[in-house]
């Protein structure tokens, strides 16, 4: 499903979090929204889910303006831990299933198995890596046309990152889903991406097709990202 | 599969190169079926659109053949495989020669150096 942001700004008080951003995200592609901490990545994702509304401009998911109900079409992995610590893994899955009509319990079971998560374990007993895995299980088990992942790798060791990449590749529905991943950890993510978008201080300062970037400019996303930011600071 | 990709080359080309090596070394046999696009994506940790491009490119070069509804297979055309082997050889030579040039060696030096090295290998 196509996601469109038109001249979107979001300010908190006098500070802009996102400044006049226009972007289009298409079905079947994985986008990386890349930027340093505090660059407006999370705010952008929240505006696509309908958790936050723009101060100016419009956000559309599948040609409809985003409202509170947009969460029916958008699965969202937050960078925060939003679990009830006393819940077990199984109870958390059941809770998600009760909240979202598109939740696929079969997919959830398969993912739990792949990620080696125990249904009976309490969330407060899980390691950080396993909480990260559980978040991904919850997000990927929903059959939504839009999937947003906010820092899915944050604080996780290389083994967990690898298992997350594999699950993403196994469970994303490339014929129907639009996937946007916000991160400042670019290296890991690059081979997964179709398009890379750099956002700094609330503004989009570049967008490139990853393979084209390598073919035409001989640059990896990380190199391009660094040079783009260096240029900006030089101005 | 190598998960580290060079920055300067498209990923789809690097995967095609890797597969070509495997074919020439006989790790992938002639007529053997390649993993599906999705399987290959998962194996190599790469976007399936990239793998699709790898397969299309290799098909264009005649190294693999896609049979409808069955998948992608290594070609059984010996001529194509011989050409592929020579192409890989030329790639390696090109890198060698460039590196030697960068170090300031003349063509003569290169040949002499290579001959000496090979003689030592034989001993």
What are the pLDDT digits (tens) for B21-70? 999 999 999 999 999 999 999 999 999 999 999 999 999 999 999 998 89
Tell the burial category of A189 from Cβ atoms under 10 Å away from its Cβ (0-12, 13-18, 19+): buried
The greatest distance separating any two alpha carbons of chain B, rounded to the nearest whole angstrom, comes to 54
Integer CA distances (angstroms), B59 to A88, A178, B73, in order: 50, 28, 9
- Write the residue in B9, B38, B47 that is nearest to A192 by C-beta: B47
What is the reported pLDDT for B3? Answer: 58
**Is the ipTM beyond the 0.85 threshold?**
no
A164, closest residue in chain B (CA to CA):
B45
Q: Which of A29, A110, A169, A227 to mutate to test the interface with B (most CBs of B within 10 A)?
A: A169
B82 to chain A nearest CA, in Å? Answer: 27
Give the mutation candidate from A191, A192, A195 for the B interface (greatest B CB count, under 10 A): A191
CATH class of this structure's domain A3-234: alpha beta
Query: Is B9:A214 a contact under the CB 8 Å cutoff?
Result: yes
Q: Give the range among A94-98, A174-178, A230-234, B69-73 with minimum mean pLDDT.
A: A230-234
User: Closest partner residue to B48 among A174, A218, A223, by Cβ?
Assistant: A174
What per-residue confidence (pLDDT) applies to B99? 95
Percent of chain B whose predicted confidence (pLDDT) is above 70: 98
Choose between A118 and A83: higher pLDDT. A118
**Whether the predicted pLDDT of A122 surpasses 80:** yes
pTM for the structure as a whole? 0.88
Quote the minimal CA–CA distance from B49 to chain A in Å: 8
The domain B11-76 having CATH identifier 1.10.10.10: the answer here is yes
Contact A194 B44 (CB under 8 A): no
Whether B2 has a pLDDT exceeding 50, the answer reads no
- pLDDT score of A8: 95
């Amino acid at each position: 499903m196509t996601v469109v942001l038109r001249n979107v700004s979001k300010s908190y008080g006098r500070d802009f979090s996102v400044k006049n951003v226009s972007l289009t995200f298409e079905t079947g592609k994985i986008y990386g929204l890349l930027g340093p901490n505090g660059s407006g990545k999370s705010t952008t994702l929240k505006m696509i889910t309908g958790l936050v509304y723009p101060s100016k401009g419009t956000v559309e998911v599948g040609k409809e303006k985003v409202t509170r109900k947009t969460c029916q079409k958008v699965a969202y992995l937050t960078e925060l831990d939003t679990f009830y610590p006393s819940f077990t893994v199984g109870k958390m899955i059941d809770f998600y299933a009760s909240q979202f009509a598109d939740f696929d319990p079969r997919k959830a079971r398969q993912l739990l198995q792949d990620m080696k998560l125990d249904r009976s374990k309490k969330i407060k007993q899980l390691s950080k890596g396993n909480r990260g895995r559980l978040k991904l299980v919850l997000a990927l088990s929903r059959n939504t046309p839009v999937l947003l992942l906010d820092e899915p790798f944050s604080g996780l060791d290389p083994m967990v990152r690898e298992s997350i990449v594999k699950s993403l590749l196994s469970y994303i529905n490339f014929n129907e889903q639009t996937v946007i991943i916000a991160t400042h950890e670019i290296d890991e993510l690059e081979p997964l991406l179709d398009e890379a978008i750099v956002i700094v201080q609330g503004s989009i300062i570049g967008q490139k097709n990853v393979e084209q970037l390598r073919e035409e400019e001989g640059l990896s996303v990380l190199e391009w990202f660094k040079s783009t930011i260096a240029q900006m600071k030089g101005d | 599969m190598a998960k580290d990709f060079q920055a300067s080359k498209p990923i789809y080309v690097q995967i095609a190169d890797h597969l070509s090596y495997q074919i020439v070394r006989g790790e992938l046999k002639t007529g053997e079926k390649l993993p599906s696009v999705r399987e290959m994506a998962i194996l190599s940790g790469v976007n399936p659109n990239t793998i699709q491009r790898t397969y299309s490119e290799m098909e264009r070069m005649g190294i693999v053949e896609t049979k409808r509804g069955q998948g992608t297979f290594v070609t059984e055309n010996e001529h194509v495989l011989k050409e592929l082997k020579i192409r890989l050889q030329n790639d390696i030579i090109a890198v060698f020669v460039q590196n030697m040039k960068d170090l300031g060696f003349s063509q003569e030096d290169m040949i002499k150096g290579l001959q000496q090295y090979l003689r030592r290998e034989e001993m």
